[in-house]
Amino acid sequence: MSEHPTPPPADAGATAAPPAEPVAPTPAAPGPVAPGPVAPRPDEALRGTLAAVRTEVGKAVVGQDAAVTGLVIALLCRGHVLLEGVPGVAKTLLVRSLSAALDLGTKRVQFTPDLMPGDVTGSLVYDARTAEFSFREGPVFTNLLLADEINRTPPKTQASLLEAMEERQVTVDGTPRPLPDPFVVVATQNPVEYEGTYPLPEAQLDRFLLKLVLPLPERHDELEVLARHAAGFDPRDLRAAGVRPVAGADALARAREEVTRVQVSREVLGYVVDLCRATRESPSLALGVSPRGATALLATSRAWAWLSGRGFVTPDDVQALVHPTLRHRVALRAEAELEGVSAESVLDTVLASVPVPR
């Protein structure tokens, strides 16, 4: 499993605990990378709403803070998420809880070996009464789509979803049909190659803004999971667990607007570019991060800066988002893989070698 010891920021929001990895304290006197007085004051109420989403999810899911933060960042960026973890680490529970905490249209598709593209996107059905074909919308016509166990379905069906993700529309019989806004896919997959799984095509992985890896829980978290079960927690009944919808499309749209006002200095832009360029020079990689990947890192760092209560992006924000934003956008050389090099270790090397603007 490509698990990484320093996942993205573990917590966000005004009342949040500090992130798991050392992030520099919010500078009182802005350093050279902070635009200073021109930085806008981000909206505290909106940030509170997003912190409330995390609280609701926490009523069902114990720990996994980095993944919860990642999902909130993806909502802020309107990006899709690939959620990876061994069976039983609450991938499905996490996404179901997120849906329950949002006042959005949500649908869930279990990707089975016999699922057809039309089962995802929709298809033309014949109406005998009018003697005409009409389009019956598939489950992609929603705001938040849980694509569960995406690597258990054959490539043709995967492709139909990946196309809808990229184009944000579905074309059936030559007619394009736009998907709702927001349209965010959270796909889950198991990391190990079980029999009967179809790995997602590497070239299409960068349609996911983030790849979040759910680790096995720490002992104290696992104990809490069991304590909740002992006290009667039923993972199938999230309402009974008290998970309530606390944010809707409107709040998300306004928060997104705030994020676009987060400032990024020339130095920090340069840092993002240098990190991505360094991956292209890594001897262990057959494929480095593309410019699209660089724009993704900028977007996720910005959303994290906003969640952390800042109106500007610091190099620490960028560092915190490097692994989840870039780990699936690089391809290892076969020799490197044999030597035990992983995408995570290459990204660590890159982070250690690129000078940080201070």
Ligand X SMILES: Nc1ncnc2c1ncn2[C@@H]1O[C@H](COP(=O)(O)OP(=O)(O)OP(=O)(O)O)[C@@H](O)[C@H]1O
When the beta carbons of 62 and 320 are compared against ligand X, the nearer one is 62
87 counts as binding ligand X under rule CB under 6 A: yes
CA torsion angle 288 290 291 293 (round to 10): -100
When the beta carbons of 153 and 319 are compared against ligand X, the nearer one is 153
Q: Which of residues 176-195 bind ligand X (CB under 6 A)?
A: 190
Q: Single out the residue of 90, 252, 289, 322 in contact with ligand X (rule: CB under 6 A).
A: 90
25 Cβ neighbours under 8 A, 6+ residues apart: none
235 counts as binding ligand X under rule CB under 6 A: yes
Binding to ligand X by CB under 6 A, coded x per residue (else -) over 91-130, reads xxx-------------------------------------
When the beta carbons of 154 and 217 are compared against ligand X, the nearer one is 217
When the beta carbons of 73 and 89 are compared against Mg ion, the nearer one is 89
Q: Which two tokens stand for residue 178?
A: 């736009």
152 counts as binding ligand X under rule CB under 6 A: no
Give the range of 82-90, 116-124, 264-272, 285-293 binding ligand X by CB under 6 A: 82-90
Q: Which two tokens stand for residue 344?
A: 């995570």
Q: At what angle do helices 291-307 and 44-58 cross, to 10 degrees?
A: 100
CB-CB neighbours of 135 under 10 Å = 16
Q: Which of residues 30-69 bind ligand X (CB under 6 A)?
A: 61-64
When the beta carbons of 78 and 108 are compared against ligand X, the nearer one is 108
Q: Rounded to an integer, what distance in angstroms lies between the CA atom of residue 346 and that of residue 271?
A: 17
> Shortest gap between Cβ of 62 and ligand X (angstroms)?
4
> Shortest gap between Cβ of 324 and ligand X (angstroms)?
17
Q: At what angle do helices 44-58 and 249-260 cross, to 10 degrees?
A: 130
Nearest to 97 by CA among 275, 239, 269: 239
Partners of 169 in the β-ladder: 178
When the beta carbons of 188 and 282 are compared against Mg ion, the nearer one is 188
DSSP H helices in 87-218: 91-101, 117-121, 155-167
> Shortest gap between Cβ of 311 and ligand X (angstroms)?
33
154 counts as binding ligand X under rule CB under 6 A: no
307 counts as binding ligand X under rule CB under 6 A: no
How many chain residues are in contact with ligand X, going by CB under 6 A? 16
When the beta carbons of 84 and 163 are compared against ligand X, the nearer one is 84
Q: Rounded to an integer, what distance in angstroms lies between the CA atom of residue 187 and that of residue 148?
A: 6
88 counts as binding ligand X under rule CB under 6 A: yes
Nearest to 144 by CA among 240, 64, 57, 15: 57
1 counts as binding ligand X under rule CB under 6 A: no
Nearest to 228 by CA among 17, 62, 23: 62
Binding to ligand X by CB under 6 A, coded x per residue (else -) over 245-284, reads ----------------------------------------
Partners of 110 in the β-ladder: 148
Could you tell which of Mg ion, ligand X, none binds residue 87, using a CB distance below 5 to 8 A set by kind?
ligand X
- Burial label for 12, CB within 10 Å (0-12, 13-18, 19+), is buried
Q: Which two tokens stand for residue 349?
A: 């090397």
Q: Rounded to an integer, what distance in angstroms lies between the CA atom of residue 312 and that of residue 30?
A: 10
Could you tell which of ligand X, Mg ion, none binds residue 307, using a CB distance below 5 to 8 A set by kind?
none
Positions touching ligand X (CB under 6 A) are 61-64, 85, 87-93, 190, 217, 225, 235
